[in-house]
């Protein structure tokens, strides 16, 4: 995949001097005079150029002996999503890095070496080859990369929650409290308790009433109103409450982490001036915060790199630079809603999904009158009476598709998580009754977070592109040819077309990734 133009160190220093949020997470700067590394948005006094060392990843800075800044907090930076098409090794390294960013990969298996073997098997290479490629392109070993991710996650929990240190260690993937304390002390020179005090974690009654609130950053531009409007048009009362005018999203959550189910609620408040999101969660979700943060980042597409995407799409979508691709907190829920949306309007699909929630959604107590149910689980819908589904107005073909999806997820033959293998998941989906190319691509676009999905045969997309959808296969071929110029970001092109921002090729230059 393409990425934005690589930055040299002089360009990075200019970005640091201007605190340019467009480059947040794309590099980190280590200050040799202090031994601290920062994000480019850090508001401390800018160090002299000769005192700066630049790194592509936080793990590189920590391997070089730098400690994270307690003011700009590198753990809050957007994740690196720079995919490269330079060579097979770069692609493999980026795929491995994305898999390792998932908190559910931070298992204790790293201690005995089995995790790297499973990762290499997943990627179809030997563990020796994976280590060599990862170090060549990322600059650190996979073990070092995971250790940094775990430590930064723990640092965030220590700063923003009142979780006991033992629970912070467990949530961050450490095998024992002793190992956790040792890792924090060795890397940061502080005990977990000292780090918590130094970062001013919420305390007393404030923490009790506010709940755990963490902050998640993004790179501008980001059109938060458009994102929330898209979600509001599809919201399910009882499960979601979206307020685009207030830049706020509420919803119920069910997470399965380590074989255990956790249920609760979240409130996401956009803070555009600071290019960040304030995420407040119920007490019941505190111990799985890293996994929840991961899913919220995917739901709201917080890790996208607009510089790379807009360099490809801006000529055809000049007013869509801030649009992102909405994801989902739960892949099964999104897949069911995609099936219900086949060949009907958004409003009709929402009505059917609402009936499903009212009939089988598990009740949940929350502080918000508008939130009181969870979306039905795969196990529940797999065992539902087809006649009862029919009574909700769901036709037989979609009944069969929903229950086939539910059974496949329940028995483990179908993975709809953000880290699922794309090719095998698409094949499995289309082998199910009632799941065609459009539905599979839509699920890939939102649940699998594939940036190059293309929902074949989408009438609204064809209309937005000015094509005659009545021509059938000919229109699909024409749309595919047109979209070839948008690879590898066709998912973003789809959202921009649906939003009505498509224009014929412009003669203006694409946005520059420079200062």
CATH number for 468: 1.10.340.30
pLDDT in tens, 1-26: 344 556 899 999 999 999 999 999 99
Residues 367 and 484 in one domain: yes
- 458 counts as catalytic: yes
Residues 70 and 215 in one domain: no
What pLDDT is stored for residue 197 in this prediction?
82
The whole-angstrom separation of Cα 151 and Cα 173 is 9
pLDDT in tens, 108-153: 666 566 888 889 998 999 999 999 999 998 999 999 999 999 999 9
Residue 509 inside a domain? The answer is no
Task: List CB contacts of 185: < 8 A, sequence separation 6 or more.
Answer: 191
**For range 150-176, the mean pLDDT:** 93
Residues 356 and 234 in one domain: no
Residues 356 and 370 in one domain: yes
The whole-angstrom separation of Cα 347 and Cα 343 is 12
Residues 234 and 279 in one domain: yes
Residue 248 inside a domain? The answer is yes
Residues 339 and 430 in one domain: yes
What pLDDT is stored for residue 268 in this prediction?
98
Residue 106 inside a domain? The answer is yes
Q: Among 24, 38, 80, 305, which one carries the catalytic annotation?
A: 38
Residue 82 inside a domain? The answer is no
Domain that holds residue 14: 9-76
What pLDDT is stored for residue 336 in this prediction?
98
Among 56, 76, 96, the domain-final residue is 76
Among 198, 231, 265, the domain-final residue is 198
Residues 341 and 392 in one domain: yes
How many structural domains are present in the chain?
4
Cross-strand partners of 252: 265
pLDDT in tens, 379-427: 999 999 999 999 999 999 999 999 999 999 999 999 998 888 999 999 9
Q: Among 20, 101, 452, 458, which one carries the catalytic annotation?
A: 458
The whole-angstrom separation of Cα 356 and Cα 342 is 16
Residues 248 and 395 in one domain: no
CA distances 165 to 27, 106, 169, 194, 195, Å, are 30, 18, 6, 11, 11
What pLDDT is stored for residue 438 in this prediction?
95
Residue 480 inside a domain? The answer is yes
pLDDT in tens, 199-225: 755 544 444 444 689 999 999 999 999
Residue 81 inside a domain? The answer is no
Among 11, 10, 59, smallest CA distance to 37 is for 59
CATH number of the domain that residue 222 is part of: 3.30.310.20
Residue 120 inside a domain? The answer is yes
Residues 431 and 375 in one domain: yes
CATH number of the domain that residue 191 is part of: 1.10.10.60
Residues 179 and 33 in one domain: no
Query: What pTM was computed for the model?
Result: 0.93
The whole-angstrom separation of Cα 363 and Cα 240 is 13
Task: List CB contacts of 218: < 8 A, sequence separation 6 or more.
Answer: 24, 78, 275, 276, 277, 300, 302, 303, 304
Among 158, 175, 198, the domain-final residue is 198
CATH number of the domain that residue 29 is part of: 3.40.10.10
């Amino acid at each position: 995949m393409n990425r934005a133009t690589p930055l040299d160190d002089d360009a990075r220093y200019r970005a640091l001097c201007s605190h340019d949020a467009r480059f947040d997470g794309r590099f980190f700067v280590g200050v040799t005079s202090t031994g601290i590394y920062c994000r480019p948005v850090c508001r401390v006094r800018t160090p002299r150029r000769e005192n700066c060392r630049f790194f592509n990843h936080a793990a590189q800075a920590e391997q070089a002996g730098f400690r994270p800044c307690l003011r700009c907090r590198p753990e809050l930076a957007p994740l690196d999503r720079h995919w490269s098409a330079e060579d097979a090794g770069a692609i493999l390294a980026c795929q491995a890095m994305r898999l390792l960013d998932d908190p559910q990969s931070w298992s204790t298996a790293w201690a005995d070496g089995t995790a790297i073997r499973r990762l290499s098997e997943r990627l179809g290479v030997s563990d020796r080859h994976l280590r060599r490629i990862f170090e060549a392109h990322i600059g650190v070993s996979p073990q070092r990369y995971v250790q940094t991710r775990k430590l930064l996650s723990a640092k965030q929990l220590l700063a923003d929650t009142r979780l006991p240190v033992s629970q912070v260690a467990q949530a961050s993937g450490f095998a024992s409290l002793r190992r956790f304390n040792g890792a924090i002390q060795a890397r940061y020179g502080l005990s977990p308790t000292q780090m918590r005090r130094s970062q001013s974690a919420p305390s007393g009654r404030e923490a009790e009433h506010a709940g755990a609130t963490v902050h998640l950053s993004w790179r501008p531009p980001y059109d938060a109103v458009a994102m929330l409007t898209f979600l509001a048009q599809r919201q399910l009362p009882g499960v979601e409450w979206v307020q685009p005018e207030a830049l706020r999203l509420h919803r119920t959550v069910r997470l399965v982490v380590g074989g255990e189910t956790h249920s609760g609620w979240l409130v996401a408040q956009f803070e555009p001036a600071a290019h960040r999101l304030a995420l407040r969660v119920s007490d019941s979700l505190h111990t799985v915060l890293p996994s929840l943060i991961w899913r919220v980042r995917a739901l709201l597409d917080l890790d996208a790199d607009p510089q790379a995407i807009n360099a490809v799409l801006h000529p055809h979508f000049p007013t869509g630079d801030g649009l992102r691709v909405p994801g989902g907190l739960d892949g099964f829920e999104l897949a069911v809603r995609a099936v219900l949306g086949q060949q009907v309007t958004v409003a009709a699909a929402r009505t059917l999904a609402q009936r499903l929630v009212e009939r089988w959604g598990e009740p949940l107590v929350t502080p918000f009158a508008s939130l009181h149910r969870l979306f039905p689980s795969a196990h529940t819908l797999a065992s539902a009476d087809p006649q009862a589904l029919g009574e909700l107005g769901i036709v037989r073909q979609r009944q069969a598709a929903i229950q086939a999806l539910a059974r496949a997820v329940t028995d483990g033959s179908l993975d709809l998580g953000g880290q699922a293998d794309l090719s095998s998941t698409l094949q499995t989906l289309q082998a199910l009754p009632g799941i065609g190319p459009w539905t599979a691509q839509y699920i890939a676009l939102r649940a699998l977070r594939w940036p190059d999905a293309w929902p074949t045969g989408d009438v609204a997309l064809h209309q937005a592109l000015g094509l005659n959808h009545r021509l059938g296969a000919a229109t699909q071929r024409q749309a595919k040819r047109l979209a070839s110029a948008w690879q590898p970001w066709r998912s973003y092109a789809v959202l921009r077309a649906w939003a009505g921002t498509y224009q014929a090729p412009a003669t203006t230059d694409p946005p520059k990734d420079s200062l």
